Amino acid sequence: MFDTKIALIVRDDLATWQRLNVVAFLATGIASAAPDMMGEPYVDAKGRQYGNMAGQPMLVFAGDVTGLQRAHRQGLERELTVIPYVEAMFATGHDAANREVFMAEDADNLNLVGIAIRGPKKAVDKAIKGLSLHG
């Protein structure tokens, strides 16, 4: 049905609030990176306008840090849209601080707690191979 696929992957050892927080941030990152995926605004039966949402599903997967790092590498190698979230970002209070702690990470060994990947379906499937849907 869709030529592209969106996968949000969260680390399986996070507290529930952390998982939900990471998924929310990753979804906004994907929407920002690919505005063409956004659907039209919603209108109710009284004509009231609401905001729009993504026009295609976002599948949520879980994995350990090694699985996230592998998906990260695969996503970069396949030139997919990749949105990372590292553990140090939990300790920051604003966007600029998030970018600072991200820049301080070992770029080849990110301490990922979440990652979003979007691109051609087959390429995303290869990048997330071995990961399970979040349960």
* CB proximity list for 117: less than 8 A, separation 6 or greater: 6, 7, 9, 71, 75, 80, 81, 82, 83, 124, 127, 128
* Whole-number pLDDT of residue 103: 97
Distance CA 43, CA 49 (A): 5
Distance CA 64, CA 49 (A): 41
51 DSSP assignment: -
Instruction: Give the tens place of pLDDT for each residue, 2-37.
Output: 999 999 999 999 999 999 999 999 999 999 999 999
Confidence (pTM): 0.93
